[in-house]
Amino acid sequence: GQGEEGTAAMGDKALVNKSESDKLTLASLRRNDNTIEEIIDTAKHVSLYEFQLGLNEWKRRDVEGSLFVVKRSALPRFQFIILNRLSPKNHLEDILDSTDLEKQAPYIMYKTSQQELLGLWFYEDKECEKIFHLLTKISLANKVSASSLDDDGNGSGRKKQGAAQNGNGSRKMMADLAQAHSHQQTKEKRSAAANEIDDLLGMLGGGEAAPATTTKATGGGGGGGDRPKERGKAQAAAAASSGGVAITKAQLKAALQRVVRKDEFVEMLYNEIKNGA
C-alpha cells in the first residue's frame, strides 16, 4: 500500500515538474513570437546539417539543441524551432504543404521553402520516428487543405511530381549525411582526446620535461648518497615557485588511464610514431 502510494506520488510530482517546465519553455518561445499557442511535441537533442550543392557534400551548421514543434495563431500555422545552444540565434522552419521529408533514423532530410536541402540528426531514434510522423502528418494536412482550394487540381499534381523528383538519389544522400555526422563525431572525439592530453601535460607542469638531475654523494657529514625525501620536497618547492601544480601518483595514474583508453589517443600516437620514423 505505502509503496504504491509513494510511486504514485513520485509520478504525480514528475508530471507537475514536466508541466511547469513546458509552461516555462512556452513562455520563452512566446517572447520571440507571441502567436505561438502551444508546443505539440519535442525532441531533446538534434543537430542540423546543410547540403552544399557546390561541394556536393554535407556540412554541419552551428545549430544544435532541443527541437519544438509548435502551433501558431497566424500563418504559417505550424513550425519547428531548435533552441540553439551554440549561438543566440535559434533555427526556425515553417511546415508547409510543399515540405518534402525523407527519414532514415536517426536522420530526417527535408527541403525548405528557400530550396535548401537540410538534414536533422536525432540523439534518439524513437524521437526521430515520432517527429517525422508528426511533420509528415502536418504537411499532408496542409496538402489536403491546399488541394481543396485548387479548382483545376494542377497545383497538387505539380507538387507530387516535385516530391518524386526530389526523392531520386535520396538513399545516397542519406548515406552521405550519416557519413558526415560520423566524421563530425570522430573530429569531436579527437579534439576531446587532445584536450585530455593537454590536461595531462598541464598536470605534469608543461609540455617539456625538465632535465633530470642527480646529486652525487659527498664525503662529509651525515652520510652520502641521495636523500629522496629532501629531494622530493625541493622539487615540490621548485614546482610551486614556477607555477606548477602538485599532483599525486593516484591522480597521474587516473589521468593516464583516461587518456590511454581513448581510441583517438592510440590513433594519434600511432600516427606520431609512424610520421617520426
| Per-residue pLDDT tens over the stretch 164-188 | 344 446 677 778 887 888 887 777 7
What is the rounded distance in angstroms from the CA atom of residue 84 to the CA atom of residue 65?
Answer: 5
For cell 516530391, name the residue.
163
pLDDT category of residue 29 using cuts at 50, 70 and 90: very high
pLDDT at position 113 is: 82
Phi-psi region at 237: left, alpha or beta (left = phi > 0; alpha = psi -120 to 50): alpha
Helix (H, G, I), strand (E, B) or coil at 122: strand
pLDDT at position 123 is: 95
pLDDT at position 155 is: 46
CA distances 185 to 57, 93, 175, 189, 250, Å, are 16, 25, 15, 6, 31
Q: What is the DSSP letter of 225?
A: S
Comparing 155 with 31, the larger pLDDT belongs to 31
pLDDT category of residue 217 using cuts at 50, 70 and 90: very low
Q: Give per-residue pLDDT as tens, 56-108.
A: 899 999 999 999 999 999 999 999 999 999 999 999 999 988 888 999 999 99
The kind and range of the H/E element at 230 are helix 228-241
What is the rounded distance in angstroms from the CA atom of residue 149 to the CA atom of residue 159?
Answer: 14
Helices 170-203 and 263-276: crossing angle, nearest 10°? 80
- Average pLDDT across the chain, whole number: 76
What is the rounded distance in angstroms from the CA atom of residue 174 to the CA atom of residue 119?
Answer: 9
% of the chain surpassing 70 pLDDT: 61
Q: Give per-residue pLDDT as tens, 186-210.
A: 777 666 666 766 666 666 654 444 4
What is the rounded distance in angstroms from the CA atom of residue 171 to the CA atom of residue 150?
Answer: 32
